[in-house]
Structure 1
Amino acid sequence: MGKGANNLSSSDLTISSHEPPPKTLISWEEVQKHNKKDDCWIVVKDIVYNVTNFKKKHPGGNKIIEFYAGQDATEVFNAFHKDFDRVYKYAKAYQIGQIDPNDQSRLKLSDEEKQKIQREIEIREDFKQVKKAAEDMGLFKPSYTFFFLHGFHIVFFQMFGYYLLLNYADSSFFAILLALACNVIAEAQSGWAQHDYGHSSFFAKPNINKYFHLFFMGCIKGASSDWWTYMHNMHHAKPNVIEKDPDVRLEPFFVVGTVEPIRRAEKNAKKKVENLYPYTFQHYLFPIAAPLLFPLLFQWTTIRHAIKRRKYLDLISMAPMFILHFAVTYTTFQSVFKCLAYFFVMRLFESAWFTWVSQCNHIVMDVHDDVEYDSWLHLQIKATCNIEKSWFNDWFTGHLNFQIEHHLFPTMPRHNLYKIQPLVQSLCKKHGINYIVKPFWQAFYDILLSLKKSGELWQEAYDEIMLSM
């Protein structure tokens, strides 16, 4: 390839720039020293940026930048941003130098570490070619018909549910159940719609996507758009990375993967206590916890986030959902208790739908510590798997049955993810990377199986540590 294993260069990864690079030369060893919250440097296309003061202004949240402090952030930058020229224009103010092309600091690495870096460089080059092919195929261009019909069916189900409540609830309990089903479908599908706009996969300009995101997340779901963006960007930046991905911070009720159970056992043993229950029972708890996640945690968390961070636009966008929903249900039931009960049950089903779908792609995979030299491809595929394609699977999961492709290309419109799948599979086969596709039922069952195995690992580690004390 013509690149030394000691130089982890990303210069062939695309960021448009017509400006000459800064003249100050900086070694990788120096960059790696600046990996703290109050001293944060990142590298994008071999240009070094001091983003210590910028990270709080970052639209995607400060954490995503902190995750890459002292590291090469080129691939994550390319994955999250569409308009490279626009972003680069603002980024120039934070440039402090460029990576020394003759940097010798990585010669200190072991031969095994150098070989790993060389493999990652080759993977990055091939992945760049796959992304270029996706661009040439027009896979980053949305179908306006698809997004219109998807949005229309969400609004239709929501309004039809309310119509049934207002006109037929008094005469038929079946009408109430049908209305509930319609509202659950609208809420769950709105979750997939807001996910699309949150990733800016429809409009070219992020601000326009933001307004649609506010509509589906706020007006339909009654949740904070900013909260979702903050949490979800962390997830995509470092999926399944311990202490960084919020989606795998499941303590104190769950331990996942193979690393966290042992650490949790060490903490429990040190305090000479187990938990409220042994983790060997966690696979029984999940089906109970999944429906309760939204009504007992997320609903309050999103409102608190908007209030605490003074996201007034979020609060304004959330108001129509609660006003309309409780106006309709109170008119129907003439009881505050019944209104709240209907809302709670709706959230229960929506929560179960979302939680099973979102977790079947992730917690069953490798949950690990941060590894500096992982390519974007390696980082994402270690943490994701797919579910087989069918019209129902596509609809039910919001096309997140193509979780691998979505994580590799988060701004790609979801209706195009299956089109890039063959190229991703070929790339994985070339580099010996395990690409996993499961039947729908197996993906859900594997959640319980994975939790059972992690719980047993915790028990074994806990017993061993207690016996040695």
Structure 2
Amino acid sequence: MSTSTTTAPGGSAPGERRRPATPYAKLTAQVQAAGLMQRRTGTYWLRIAATTAAFSAVVTGAVLLRDSWLVLLVAAPLAFVLTQFAFLGHDGAHRQIFASHRGNEWAARIFAALLNGLGYGWWMGKHTRHHQAPNKRGTDGDVESDVISFYPEAAASRRGPLRWFTRHQGWFFLPLLLLEGLNLHAASARSLVSSSRRAKGRWLDVALIATHWSVYLAALVLLLGPGRGAAFFGVHMAAFGVAMGGAFAPNHVGMPVLPREAKVDFIRRQVLTSRNVRGGWFVDLVMGGLNFQVEHHLFPSMPRPNLRRARPFVQRFCAEHGIAYTEEGLLSSYRSIVRYLNEVGLAARHPFSCPLAAQLRA
């Protein structure tokens, strides 16, 4: 390892000992020197404009087909476009789009709450905890579920019919994504109801979400009628769940789940629990840049368009420090998810342990 040191911007005072640069600081310096932390506001404006144009085209299609059941063909594209807005909301929440905190927050609220009906405050709370300790029990709520068991202890605690389900949960995981859209909206609504009335931005979220559902449901009933409107809503919610859940699932499902007492340094905590997904522009699009999950977790505020360019720096760093860097193809990542969940489900009959998780515990 190099013995280089970091200094304060103005230099160290005479006789002051300089602290050795940490490995993460050196990696950060490399990506900063390559300009990868700089804003890509122009690129984001183009993406926003393109997504808005796609949204307008989908809405126009729904209006033109409003008197036919063929209008249901528009429901899935609408879900895909709104998922793209959700990805933009995610980027805004990570301060990737604009230089100002206020600009990013407003962008995130509009894309999440107004256009998708999901609370910005709810999302920020759960997602912040996830980034602090991904896949760690007791901190990351994404590994705690009443339906899916993401670690052996959860599987072993299942009783009754759920015990049988857990043994085969890997095969049910992908079909369950059809319900993920409804689950996200229900969790967001529960958070707004249960949160303090003084919670920052709570009433703004309530107003934006109320506007979203008022306009959306009124349009379904007035434009399509109760029958077609209900069918359109069902197809749209199912497709939205697949689009959202399908983009987020490969990032961490099947990677080590850390026990509550685990003490792991920042870099290993972020890298060892994350999975990248290989692919070109199509994978970038459908996963909203989250296919570069390792780089995103190491540099959460790095603009999405720069994550691919940061990948070689992170891969080289991990190779030099003996840190496992996981990357799979899209289909391979889903096979890994199904296999892992079925193996965890075996804990409903006998103990199962993940070797890498056991290594981290040690």
Partner residue in 2 for 1:9: none
CA contact (8 A) 1:356 1:444 kept: no
The residue identity in structure 2 corresponding to 1:349 is: A
C-alpha deviation, 1:303, in angstroms: 2.2
Unaligned runs of 5+ in 2: 353-362
Picking from 311, 335, 338, the partner of 1:448 is: 338
Partner residue in 2 for 1:165: 62
Partner residue in 2 for 1:277: 163
CA separation of 1:242/1:13 partners in 2, compared to 1, >3 Å: closer, same or farther?
farther
Q: In the alignment, does 2:309 pair up with 1:419?
A: yes
Partner residue in 2 for 1:233: 128
CA contact (8 A) 1:381 1:435 kept: yes
Partner residue in 1 for 2:318: 428
Paired residues, number? 340
Partners of 2:336 and 2:293 lie apart in 1 by 16
The residue identity in structure 1 corresponding to 2:147 is: F
Partners of 2:242 and 2:116 lie apart in 1 by 15
CA contact (8 A) 1:161 1:178 kept: no
Q: In the alignment, does 2:38 pair up with 1:141?
A: yes
CA contact (8 A) 2:170 2:341 kept: yes
For CA contacts below 8 A with separation 6 or more, give which structure has more relative contact order.
Answer: 2
Unaligned runs of 5+ in 1: 4-11, 21-100, 102-120, 463-469
C-alpha deviation, 1:292, in angstroms: 0.5
Q: Which has the higher strand share?
A: 1
C-alpha deviation, 1:321, in angstroms: 2.2
Partners of 1:449 and 1:192 lie apart in 2 by 28
CA separation of 1:427/1:371 partners in 2, compared to 1, >3 Å: closer, same or farther?
farther
The residue identity in structure 1 corresponding to 2:209 is: M
SS in 2 for 1:158: helix
Picking from 131, 138, 143, the partner of 1:243 is: 138
Given the two structures, how large is their TM-score scaled by the length of structure 2? 0.86
Structure with bigger gyration radius: 1
CA contact (8 A) 1:187 1:220 kept: yes
Partner residue in 2 for 1:331: 222
Picking from 231, 251, 262, the partner of 1:361 is: 251
Partner residue in 1 for 2:360: none
Picking from 26, 46, 54, the partner of 1:129 is: 26
The residue identity in structure 1 corresponding to 2:230 is: L
Partners of 2:141 and 2:7 lie apart in 1 by 29
Q: Please identify, of 311-320 and 398-407, the stretch whose mean Cα deviation from structure 2 is larger.
A: 311-320
CA contact (8 A) 2:134 2:140 kept: yes
CA contact (8 A) 2:130 2:140 kept: yes
The residue identity in structure 2 corresponding to 1:320 is: T
SS in 1 for 2:351: helix
Alignment of 1:305-344 (within 5 A): 305-309=191-195, 310=197, 311-335=202-226, 337-344=227-234
Alignment of 1:11-410 (within 5 A): 125-170=22-67, 172-174=68-70, 176-250=71-145, 252-256=146-150, 260-262=151-153, 264-265=155-156, 267=157, 273-274=159-160, 276-278=162-164, 279-295=166-182, 297-309=183-195, 310=197, 311-335=202-226, 337-370=227-260, 373-410=263-300
How large is the RMSD of aligned CA atoms in angstroms? 2.8
The residue identity in structure 2 corresponding to 1:148 is: W
CA contact (8 A) 2:152 2:345 kept: yes
Partners of 1:282 and 1:439 lie apart in 2 by 22
Given the two structures, how large is their TM-score scaled by the length of structure 1? 0.67
CA contact (8 A) 1:166 1:328 kept: no
Partners of 2:2 and 2:75 lie apart in 1 by 61
Q: Identity percentage over the alignment?
A: 24
The residue identity in structure 1 corresponding to 2:167 is: T
CA contact (8 A) 1:218 1:317 kept: yes
SS in 1 for 2:162: coil
